[in-house]
Structure 1
Amino acid sequence: MGTSWRRAAAVAAVGLVLAGCGQAAKSSGGGNDGIGKLEIMAPADPGGGWDQTARAMQTAVSGAKLAGSVQVSNVGGAGGTVGLQKLANERSESFLMITGLVMVGAVETNNSAARMEEVTPIARLTAEDEVLVVPADSPYQDVEELLAAIAEKGKGVSITGGSAGGTDHILAGMLLKAKDISPDKLNYVPYSGGGESLAALLGKKVDAGISGIGEYREQIKAGKLRALGTSGPNQDPTLKVPTFKDLNLGVELTNWRGVVAPGGIKPEAKERLTKLVTDMHSSPQWQEELKKKGWTDTFLSGSEFSTFLNKEIGRIRPALQNIGLVK
């Protein structure tokens, strides 16, 4: 009898321990309904806007304790479409990929097999104006001089930026079109990471560069690069340079960035990821990242983001055709 009692007590104790472990497992995933390990892919090399966004999310999600751990990976190439293909094969339901207008365009210019229509939209996060820069000692003092040189020398004048077909490339084409310069004269040098295009500019391997303001801001402030114009509707208060609209070029373009998940995930997984990103957006840690990077908060989630993304997919191909990047 004593032996049976001891055996029953031991079984009960084991049951309590296992129950405790189960509760610990449920709560170990951080503060967002059990997301233990969140993976965020930046579909570009380190240094660019997508990489910066992924790492800002990592800082905010970790700081706000919204997941047990956050891992960032870089999968660069072809305007993000290499990363998009990886996302198409991803089966994890705790996986996010940074995306944006650049990728929508790159899908078209690269004739990508992986399509934006196949992802699970989660949220739009930020918007950022583009800036056209030259090295500090460049002979080109303003946009007019740079465009006049392209009209005269054609491919003898080079402009660097992100991947072919992305926002930077589109803006370069729009600037040439504003002056009735043939797109055939554009010598665009693409890089998949902002760090590479910046190195090309500082090393004077190219004549000019286009990128999000945040990627070039520090070098502009340090006097290493000179900003000629920005692409937004209003002047950036920190740069104090004219917009392309101010210069009567009629060019306006704002880059946006957001996050998507693999296609085909369960509705509850989509809801869980959307809640995590929404909670992150509300956190002081994310608001600090926005302030630090100079990004405009354009948060949009749920069906509103899905509608927005579908509209962007629909409008970008005609825009690319208009400047000769897609036939």
Structure 2
Amino acid sequence: MRREQFLKAMAALAAAGLAPALARAAGANMKMMIPANPGGGWDTTGRALGKALQDAGVASSVQYENKGGAAGALGLAQFVNASKGDPHALMVMGAVMLGGIITGKPPVTLSQATPIARLISEYNVFVLPAASPLQTMQDVVAQMKKDVGSVKWGGGSRGSTEHIAAAMIAREVGVDAAKINYVPFRGGGEAVAAILGGNVTVGGSGFSEFQQYIDSGKMRAIAVTSPQRIKGLNAPTLKELGINVEIGNWRGIYAPPGISAEQRKALTEMIVQATKSKSWAESLEKNGWTPALLAGTAFDEFVDREFATLRAIMVKSGMV
């Protein structure tokens, strides 16, 4: 970071009353664990946040590490075990990780790490490859009713929001949700390749992951899980189609175990400053993300509620 940038950042932080906690961190070399393979929503979010941290002047550099698998549980385990007590380490996480923990019951859980903040919210879109003989979500449902196993749903790891949404759709249309044929992938790049290659019938993920392929005509959007239609996307909501399913995806950030209260406060303040940067605003616009900043005990309580809500939905849908 150039000296004039540093001084400008410190002046802004001082005006906001944050300088004492952040002064030590502003020149920090941060490490970002992304518990998924490159190309997906967590990867995009982590790298956008890293850029925003530097743009806000609260980090001098950010080093990224991708570790995909088991709905983020492999990356979580590595993060918890290797970064304990490190006040310069962060990890991207979200609703997908909670769902994976519920279904997979890994030995390392989020309770062993330190909550920092929720960042964004994003709804899922379901797509068909352009060459698919199916044209609409109604076609997918009809095919599933004929032979539930013949419809391959592709998306993130088991327990992801698109997996839960697929099970909810099945339940709502009278199909045994426990029998759906769901194909999990370790990252958005793998899922995209499978959809474009026709290796799955229908794919699900955040709009930002599929947008370029929808715009180019390589994928056809057939439904979204949001309460209203998504701006810039000509696809109906599931509720418009008479399928009473609405589910959102959110992403947040955690720190390792073993950091002090002061270090947690400093990291939280860094994240808050990053979300006020021009870089972050540009990422929100580009990816169609909804800002959903939530920090402190409010975020802790939110995660606890999400665990309970997702577990109830998954039990009802035959996933647990």
TM-score by length of 1: 0.88
Q: How do residues 1-327 of structure 1 correspond to structure 2 at under 5 angstroms? A: 32-35=22-25, 36-89=28-81, 90-91=83-84, 92-326=86-320
- Unaligned runs of at least 5 residues, structure 2: 11-21
Partners of 1:123 and 1:156 in 2: how far apart?
40
* Offset at residue 118 of structure 1 (A): 2.5
* Offset at residue 58 of structure 1 (A): 1.6
Q: Secondary structure at the match of 2:166?
A: helix
Partners of 1:119 and 1:49 in 2: how far apart?
21
CA pair 97-138 structure 1, distance change in 2 beyond 3 A: same
CA contact (8 A) 2:94 2:249 kept: yes
Partners of 2:234 and 2:142 in 1: how far apart?
23
CA contact (8 A) 1:280 1:286 kept: yes
* Offset at residue 159 of structure 1 (A): 1.1
CA shift digits 1:41-92 (9 cap, x unpaired) = 1100000000000110122112222112111110111000111112221221
CA shift digits 1:132-172 (9 cap, x unpaired) = 10011211121111011012122122110000111111111
* Offset at residue 300 of structure 1 (A): 0.9
Paired letter, 2:60: G
Q: Secondary structure at the match of 1:52?
A: helix
Q: Secondary structure at the match of 2:147?
A: helix
- Unaligned runs of at least 5 residues, structure 1: 1-23
CA pair 295-211 structure 1, distance change in 2 beyond 3 A: same
Give the number of equivalent residue pairs: 300
Paired letter, 2:53: V
Partners of 2:311 and 2:111 in 1: how far apart?
14
CA contact (8 A) 2:275 2:281 kept: yes
Paired letter, 2:301: T
Percent identity, aligned pairs only, is: 39
* Offset at residue 224 of structure 1 (A): 0.5
Paired letter, 2:80: A
Judge which range, 88-97 or 75-84, deviates more.
Answer: 88-97
CA shift digits 1:186-208 (9 cap, x unpaired) = 11111010000000111111111
CA contact (8 A) 2:221 2:234 kept: no
Q: Partner residue of 1:10?
A: none
Partners of 1:268 and 1:213 in 2: how far apart?
37
**RMSD value over aligned CA atoms?**
1.6
CA shift digits 1:90-146 (9 cap, x unpaired) = 221111110100000100111111122232111110000100100112111211110
Structure whose CA Rg is larger: 1
Partners of 1:63 and 1:116 in 2: how far apart?
29
CA contact (8 A) 1:151 1:185 kept: no
TM-score by length of 2: 0.90
Partners of 2:309 and 2:56 in 1: how far apart?
36
Partners of 1:271 and 1:152 in 2: how far apart?
55
Partners of 2:307 and 2:259 in 1: how far apart?
21
Q: Secondary structure at the match of 2:23?
A: coil
Judge which range, 57-66 or 215-224, deviates more.
Answer: 57-66
